[in-house]
Each structure stands twice: as structure tokens, then as C-alpha cells.
Structure 1
Amino acid sequence: MSHPNSSSPVGFQSANLFEWLFSNPFENESDFTTAQQRVPRGSNEEKLLIDEATDNSLSSSQLHKDALILAAGLQAIHGLNPNEVVALPPTPTCKKPEIAPLVLIQVPNCLPFATAFLGTIAAGLTATLVSPALTSHELAWVLQNARPKVIITATACLGAMKEAISKQDDKAAFENIPVYTVDVGGDKYPAAPTTTSQNDWRQLLASPTGHKLIKPTTFDPKSRTALILWSSGTSGKSKGVMLSHHALCFSLASLWHNADFYLGRPQRWLGYVPFYHIFGLLNVLLLAIPTRSTVYSMSAFKLDAMLAAIPKRQITYLHMAPPIAIMLAKSPLVEPYARRKDFASVAAAVTGGAPLGHAVVLQVYDRCGFRIRLGYGLTEAGSVTVQSGISAEEMRSQSDDTGGPHWGVEVKIVAEDSSVASSKAAKAGDAGEVLIRSPGLMLGYLPTGGYATQTAPDMSLSADALTPDGWFRTGDVGIINPAGSLRLIDRIKELIKVRAYQVAPAELEAILCSSPAVVDAGVVGIYDEDQATEWPRAYVVAAGDKTEKELTALAFQLRDVVEKQTAKYKWLKGGLVFVKAIPKSPSGKILRRIIKQSGVEGFEVSVYKPNPRAAKL
């Protein structure tokens, strides 16, 4: 069964992302802007991005100006030319994907993030965004595949970045790579700095004398990669998701088309969802520009800071991962704010990235007075579906789905055993794999092993994920109900969802099996209802006969091994279970379904203390 949105994206024209964002695209009624969603033209001097802690701010005008200055700096100082592109083999969604010289940005939410990212786009270059939480081991893989020409990283991440650079085999390509730093806590941008070091990111804002910004001579927004984000895969290594200018512009227009919470009110949002994540980047930072919204940026989430900011800033709409919804429903910190009706300015909220029970949605509504709407999206496809409406009646009538497709997005259910080449719809009401097609889909995955190689780029990952007629296979299992809404019921893919992040079991298994004390290992996700998230749990076959005391000691040793090589959200907070054997199919594939259904018994060791409803993510 398939369900296209009732509106068609025929009226949406391709555009350069930077130019489109600042062109007031929602000012007039159009195919993608209803009369209710029109955003009147206003002053470009109004505050667009405000640091919640310091009140330092950027207007739309200054962000536009500084982005162009930084763009000129990237071109003039480092010779980055937007016409020097690498053309990749065709994919089902693009005949000729192109990648311009690449700038890697590894910075948490802050004002410099916006200028660095948009400056890269304004220069006609390709940006790649990575989490500040990545270890040197993980960063080394990203560097190997992305091969950036310039790096902008947070001061706190500089050590890991340097170590990752030192691990590269291609010394010639990386030994002189420029690395700029952002002092997130100390930078007073946009105020003029008192001093700057040689590698301070502000060196890129020193306007090059006489440099005229180089524009691409040939530019197709549908094939030019604007952004590469990183999504974990079952291979155990993160995959670079290539998103075009056109895909990003379309996704933003599609989001706003269905923003029925707007109601003509000037929007004020909190920016604690990471901007390097597709959710935070599209739904918060970038969407704020054409909608003239104000974003109060927070470099890290803290519940008490969020609660205090809502009445202080008169926040109108909240974006959150499910664990934040759990806190709003259950944390005692919320009670005084609820009693004072401090959430009165909030029309509604949206959550995504992981499942959230309807009971929590009801608890938040009863306590705080606003509805949390469920949405569904992916790095490869942007926002796909969202529940409509903000009333209690609409909330109760949508208790078991993630809403209908966004404008211009098609969703199809196919039989789970369909081949890659097939995308034939399943019968109405039948469960099957969720497929997505829209102008917002990725161009494809960055070739395995990188794109700057002497051999033909390996596009097999893209071929596996995209059908010949351009549908993206999500690996999720769902049903389209008679009203046209999508209900997710399971996942085919083996990824573990830790909060809004993805964890590949194969990566953790490889790390565990690298220990001489481990014969075999299998990792699955276990769901924590209190935290509304999954945690990785490892099932381990230990070498030799060991007592329970020795196994306990080994469990903590393996915990330390994983911590040293992975970001915090990948740690084994679900514990370790020592077993005699890992169940596998005749072909050697781990039978995770049997493990998750408690089909494997063993000696369990908890290597982390419980942390009920932590107020900091």
C-alpha cells in the first residue's frame, strides 16, 4: 500500500540553498506555501539566533554578511574553488552526483556554527557535520572517507581531531590540512575579539582584500552535494549521506507546509537539539531563517536550563527527543513550572528519532498543557511524516501512529521479502517495509572507502538502499492505516536507537572481539521504558573457563575498551551477558531476534549504575 501526500511538489523550483534561505520563500502564497503559512516580510535586523546563556545574538542581516565574508576567506586563504568538483557514478536518485571541496565542521550548537556552515554553503563548497562526541578512532574513519580540505572544530575536540589526522595513511593529503578552532564557551561572537590565535576560526572572517567570491560556472542544485551527514550502518561503520541543495530546500518547504502550529504567531524556539543532526539542522536552525523565527541556542541540554528558558523567552514550539518528553512527564523539577503555568506560550511540541509511548504524551499534556506530536524522519530522507493538530481531541485520535506524509513525500509499504529491485506495494492493511520517495531524498551514500581514489568509486551502499525507481528502503516495518497515517511496528535493520542516535551492533562486536579474552560477541538493543530509549547490551563468549568473579572483572575491562574507542552513546549501558555460544544462521549471521527474545541465557554483569531520568543528555 502506498500513500502520497495529497499535494504535489510540481511547483517547487530548484535553488541554491544559501540564496533560497534568505529569499523570503514563504512570503507569498504558492504551491508549497498555503495562505495560513505565509510569513510577512520583516526587518533583517531582527534577532535570528541568540545564545541562551550570554544573550549574544546574530540578526539575519549579519549572519548573511558574515557567511559571505567567511566564504571569501575559504576561497582566498585556502584556494577552495567551487568549480573543482568530483563527479560520482549515477544513483537511482541522481544521474551525476557532484561533491565540491569539502569543509568539515565539528562544533556544538553556538552562533559560530551557523556562520561556519552557511559560509561554506555560500562559497559553493560541500559541508560535512560531525558530532563533537566522536573519538579519534571514529573521526579517523570520517576523515578517510570525506577527505576535507579545511577543518573547523571546537577547542575541546582538538586533541581527538589531531590524533585522527595522525592515523591517516595518506600523509600527503593530511599533514598540512588547516584546522581552525572555536572556543565555544569563551567566544563572544559576533562581538569583536580582543585577540585571536593563528588557528582561531575568526581568521576566516578577516575579509580578504579584493577577493571576489567565485561562483560555480555550472551548478545544478539537484546534483550538487551541499551537505554530508553521517549515519551508522549495519556494516559497523558510519556512512556519509549526501544531500543536495535541492533536497534541503525542498525538505524545509515541506516542513513549513505542514507547520499547522504556526497560526501567524512569530516563532521562538530553543536550540538544544544538535545542529549537526538532521533534526536540529533542518527543523530548528535552517527553518528559522525563511520563517523569521528566533532560536535560543544551547550548546548542551540541561533540563533546568530548558525549563527556565521557556517562560523567560516565551517559547512557542519545542523540538525534543523522547527522553526529554519522559522528563517533562515525570521529573519533579517540572512541577513548579507546571503549577505556575509557565508553559502557556507553548502551542505544541514535536518528537522524533525513537519511539515514544502515547501514555507519556498524555502525561505531558495533563501536566504541562501542550501536545507532543510524533514525527518520523531519517538522515537519508529528512522529515517524512508528522501528526497533525495541536488539540487534545486530535492527540487522542492519533494514539498509535506517526502521522501522515509531509507535503510532496510518498510513503509505500512493501512485503518484507521484496528484492532491492522490487518496490511493489503490499496489500492494504498489511505490514511491510517502509519505503520513501521525495525530492528530499539523498543523492546516495558517499562511496565506500572514499571518493578521491584511483579506482572507480564503490557505490554499492547506494544501490542496496535505493530501488531502481528511486524509493529509499528504510529497514523499518510499518502499516498505513485507513486514514493514511503511518504506524511503525518494528525495524528490519539491526541498528540500535540510543536516544536520537544510531548505534551499529557490528561496530561494537568488532571492538569486543578484538580482545584476546573474547571468543565471540553479539550486541542487541534493550529497551528502557524509564529512559524511553534503547541501550546496547553485549552477549560475550569468553576465552577459557572463568569463574563468575573473573567474568565480572572481564566485563569491566571490556567496558573500558569500548569507552576508549567510541562515543558515549555507544557504551554498553545495557550490560554484558556471558554465554556459551552466540546463535547464528548457517551463513554465519547473528540471530539477534533469538537473543532479544531471551533465547540465550548466561551470567549477566551490569557495568553502569542506573541513572533514572537524568536531567542532562
Structure 2
Amino acid sequence: MAVENAPADAVFPKTDLWTFLFQRPDRSFPDSQVILTDAGTERSYTFSDLLRLTPHIGHLLQSRCGLNKGDVLSVVTSNSIDVPPVIWGALSVGVVVNPLNPAFTVNELAHYFKSAGAKAVVTQKESYAAVLEARRGTGLRPDHIIVLDDDDTSSVWLPSSSSLPEPAPHVSAIKNPEQELSFLVYSSGTTGLPKGVMLSHTNVVANLIQMASIDEGMFELEAACRCVHVHKITYVYIVPPVALQFLQNPVVERYDLSSIRLLTSAAAPLSVELIHALKQRRGLIIRQLYGMSECSPCTHGQTFADAKKHPGSVGRPIAGVSVRFMPVDGEASSARREGELWVKGPNVFLGYYNNPQATEESLTSDGYYKTGDVGYEDPHGNLIITDRIKELIKYKGFQIAPAELEDILHGHPAVADCAVVGVPEGQVGSELPRAFVKPADSVQEGPKLAEELQAHVNGKVAHYKRLRGGVIFLETIPRNPSGKILRRELKKSFASKI
């Protein structure tokens, strides 16, 4: 029988995200509370600023771009304090937000614009040319591309809050928050090309509450350390490769990081050895979280106490989340034995956008999401992740779909068959995409062809998806009788060949 673990019930309001953030009757801080700060420029937004600004942005999206409730706004930006107000403004009028990585190539952006049915795009000057080119053939109008840091338009979209009138009470456009979308987030396509994950307003609100049940732009290490030193930051969120930098990079020793009470890591598991080394050499305690886009995103997390007592786990299920452990063969498993993790809760997504088959394959009839990750619970109820059924490659916190790279390789005339798997990079929690290729008949394999195939892929994908693990030629790609690639066999057989 399947094992279920449901922590103490929490109250999950059936409300939309903007109302939850800006109209909560139990808000514990004043209107003057600073919510967002740019550590480089010292520019900031208070709660009062955002309360005025976000409805203003929402109404501009309606009047200038013709966006209606349910329309999709793609956001192609680097980290900036100006991005959250745009997202919250869109949500305030019922527009669905589709965040996209600014590192995507023109072809990748065009695919997502078309797949999501984007009606407008918010971007920055550095990405404008790529967005403008990508919109061709997608139905996107060029005057529906908003450049946040453009000198001619930034004052319109992001005016000083003092120039805005006192806001009239804003009423959200969302009437059915359990079914109406807040975000359309493309997953990393663990079993194929990336799929649009439909997150409702209550999915995201629930996960914010669940995360509270756990107590407590481009990354550049020295800038981050300087920010901690100057502003006395107490909580820092990182990915595993950054945890390794905190341990190994001597630049860390130039700054006073004693204000940090807790590091929080997600995206890939951390070894117990690294966790102990951070504590012993830097005096830093690190906890881990676990989740995925389909769960808004968190399902498990460590408390501060658990991070000290049980290093190496990703913690217990957060409030409202039930779990099952199911062996790969479909038989039920006990919690103390390894099995595929299934999760259920108010934060689990509605399904995949325009993809009912993938939705049916991923969600059970009683609402459990099949994560594709293998693990077990220790005697204290903490989840230990040990393997992945799904094919996802994780490189420095980024997630890569092998099928996407395989599709590109299949487009090269020298390739008869291929498979892409992740091989350990040496950095904690990081893998390199490696291609295994069966050459077409009469094609001569060798270093020259390997370089050609790498260049063929690397020129078509974002930087983090490049074939950094190289190309290995095989006489045949191992597959099971139904034709599925035996990726584990490839990883075991060739893990040592870099």
C-alpha cells in the first residue's frame, strides 16, 4: 500500500495572488516597509510604492497592448527590481505571466512565444533585438514589446510613485482563482520537449503559505559577498555550484559574512561532505529545499533545526502536501524503501498547456503528481533523493531537456541515431550534456565530426545547454524493445570517459 505523509493542515485561502499580496487584512508591516532593493544602486520600492504602481502597470498593459484577462504576457528579463512590479501588475488585471530565460536563442524564444500564444512581451535593452527577431511569424506586434530600461519609455511604465495619484481600491479581475492561471511556466521537458505548466492563482498562494511553514541579474560571487557585508543580509538563497564557491573561492575571506544565519539551496542535492565543510570552514549552516515547476515549486524543506540535525536530506513535506513512494514497477513501497516520489497538495499544477496526453501521464486520477525522482524517507521523516527516473540534466542550477538537444542532432545529415545524457562535471550537483551518436552510413567518425556536431548544437541553444560533455560515437544506441533510450546504461558504461 502506498505511503502517505500529510503534515498538519494549513489554511489555504481561495484568493488570487495580487489580492493575497496587497490586500491581506493581517499584514504585519507598515506601508513604508521596503520590499525590493537594488544592492548596486540602492534604489528601492516600498509597499506603498508597489500598491500604487502595480495597478498602474496592469491598466497600461490593457490600454497600450490590448491585453485582456487570460491573455499571456511573456517576460524576457534578467534579474531586476523592476520586474516584480510588472509581474504583479499583470496579475492584478488577470493577465497570465510567462517567464522566459533571456539566455534563450532567437529560435527558442520564437518557439515559446508561439507555444504560449503570447500577446505582448516585457524585456530589456540587452534582449530587445533577439525578442524583435523572434516575434516574426508568431503574431506578436512590434509595438507590443515593452522595453523596461528604454530611456524613452521607462518613465511611462515605471514612474515615480509620488507622481501617481492615491490609488482607488483595486478589485482584482480574477473571479475563480482555483482555475484561472497566474503563470505559464515551461518545464525542462524531462520526458520530451519543454511543456507549459499551468499554475493557478491558488497554486502559488498555497505554496507561499506552505513555504512560510518552514521556519525561517547574473550571479557574481564577490558582488554577493559585498552585498552581505554592507547590508548585513541574514538569509541567502543559492544553488549548489554557488555553495561550492562559498567554500572554495578565496574572495569569500575578504568579507564579513557573519550576519548570515542561514543559506538555503535548491535545484540539486548537496553532499553531506560539502554541508559539513561549509559549517566547519565558513561557519555557515545550509538547508535544502525540494520541488519543481509543477508544484509552484516547493514540496519539501528543512527547518533551521533540521538543517543542523539531518544534513543531506531535503527535509519533510511542507504543510498540506501528501506523498507516496511508488517503485518503478508500479508496486507500492514503504517509506523506508526507495521508490518514485508522488506528491499531492494545493500547490500542484492544473496540467500542461495544450497537452492533455502529458497531463494524463503525469497526474493520477486522485491528484498525485509523479515527480520522476527516486528517494526514501529517513526515520525522522526527511526525504533523501537518490536517483531520477526522468531524463533531466542539471547544469549549474539550469535544467536541460535531452530530447531538445537530440532533436537538433537528428537534424544533422551525419547523424543516424543519438542520445544525450548528463555526466558529472565535478561541481556539486552539476552535470554536462554529452551526446552519443551513431553516424550515418558512409560517414567517417572522428574528432572533426565531433567538433562539427558540437558546433551544430551549440549555435542553436542557450549557453547552458551546450554539449560541454563532448560527443562519443557508438555503433548503436541502446534502446529497450519499445524503442526507449536506455540512458542509465549509457551513463554507467561511459561515465569515466570525459
TM-score (norm 1): 0.75
Distance 1:555 1:66 in 2: 52
Give CA-to-partner distance per residue, 1:399-420, whole Å, 9 cap, x none. Answer: 34211011111121112222xx
CA drift at 1:436: 0.6
Amino acid at match of 1:356: L
Residue among 386, 408, 417 paired with 2:301: 386
Distance 2:75 2:68 in 1: 18
Pair 1:494 & 2:391 matched:
yes
Contact between 2:55 and 2:170, CA under 8 Å: does it hold in 1?
Answer: no
Distance 2:68 2:168 in 1: 12
CA drift at 1:471: 0.5
2:71 aligned residue: 101
Matches within 5 A, 1:127-146: 127-146=97-116
Pair 1:313 & 2:231 matched:
yes
Contact between 1:239 and 1:445, CA under 8 Å: does it hold in 2?
Answer: yes
Matches within 5 A, 1:446-485: 446-448=353-355, 459-485=356-382
Residue among 240, 252, 274 paired with 1:334: 252
CA drift at 1:376: 0.6
Change in 2 beyond 3 A, CA 1:530/1:71: closer
Distance 1:218 1:26 in 2: 21
Matches within 5 A, 1:132-211: 132-168=102-138, 173-175=139-141, 178-183=144-149, 195-196=151-152, 200=153, 202-204=155-157
Distance 1:530 1:128 in 2: 30
CA drift at 1:428: 3.8
Change in 2 beyond 3 A, CA 1:68/1:532: same
1:230 aligned residue: 186
2:205 aligned residue: 249
Number of matched pairs: 492
Matches within 5 A, 1:436-451: 436-448=343-355
Residue among 66, 71, 74 paired with 2:58: 71
CA drift at 1:162: 2.1
CA drift at 1:163: 2.3
SS at match of 1:75: helix
Give CA-to-partner distance per residue, 1:300-327, whole Å, 9 cap, x none. Answer: 1001111111111101111010000011
1:552 aligned residue: 447
Unmatched segments (≥5 aa) in structure 1: 28-40, 83-99, 188-194, 262-298, 419-423, 449-458, 607-617
Contact between 1:343 and 1:369, CA under 8 Å: does it hold in 2?
Answer: no
Distance 1:513 1:505 in 2: 12
2:269 aligned residue: 355
SS at match of 2:304: coil
Matches within 5 A, 1:276-425: 299-337=217-255, 342-381=256-295, 382-390=297-305, 394-395=306-307, 397-418=309-330, 425=332
SS at match of 1:522: strand
CA drift at 1:384: 0.9
SS at match of 1:587: coil
Amino acid at match of 1:497: K
Contact between 2:17 and 2:204, CA under 8 Å: does it hold in 1?
Answer: yes
2:9 aligned residue: 8
SS at match of 2:135: helix
Give CA-to-partner distance per residue, 1:341-384, whole Å, 9 cap, x none. Answer: x1211111111111211111111111221211111111111211
Change in 2 beyond 3 A, CA 1:426/1:399: same
CA drift at 1:216: 6.5
CA drift at 1:50: 1.1
SS at match of 1:114: helix
CA drift at 1:487: 1.1
Amino acid at match of 1:474: T
1:283 aligned residue: none
Give CA-to-partner distance per residue, 1:503-528, whole Å, 9 cap, x none. Answer: 11111111112111222211100112
Contact between 2:18 and 2:172, CA under 8 Å: does it hold in 1?
Answer: no
Change in 2 beyond 3 A, CA 1:353/1:166: same
Contact between 1:221 and 1:244, CA under 8 Å: does it hold in 2?
Answer: yes
Distance 1:478 1:460 in 2: 26
Distance 1:175 1:49 in 2: 31
Distance 1:130 1:395 in 2: 32
TM-score (norm 2): 0.92
Pair 1:51 & 2:52 matched:
no
1:610 aligned residue: none
Distance 2:321 2:495 in 1: 41
Pair 1:520 & 2:490 matched:
no
Amino acid at match of 1:480: E
Q: Which one is further off, 584-593 or 112-121? A: 584-593
Q: Percent identity?
A: 32
Change in 2 beyond 3 A, CA 1:304/1:26: farther
SS at match of 2:446: helix
CA drift at 1:492: 0.5
CA drift at 1:225: 0.4
CA drift at 1:136: 1.3
Give CA-to-partner distance per residue, 1:464-511, whole Å, 9 cap, x none. Answer: 110010001101111122221111111011111122222111111111
Pair 1:239 & 2:195 matched:
yes
Contact between 1:355 and 1:532, CA under 8 Å: does it hold in 2?
Answer: yes
Contact between 1:521 and 1:538, CA under 8 Å: does it hold in 2?
Answer: yes
Amino acid at match of 2:286: I
Change in 2 beyond 3 A, CA 1:510/1:116: same
Unmatched segments (≥5 aa) in structure 2: none
Change in 2 beyond 3 A, CA 1:61/1:213: closer
CA drift at 1:4: 2.8
CA drift at 1:81: 2.9
Change in 2 beyond 3 A, CA 1:216/1:47: closer
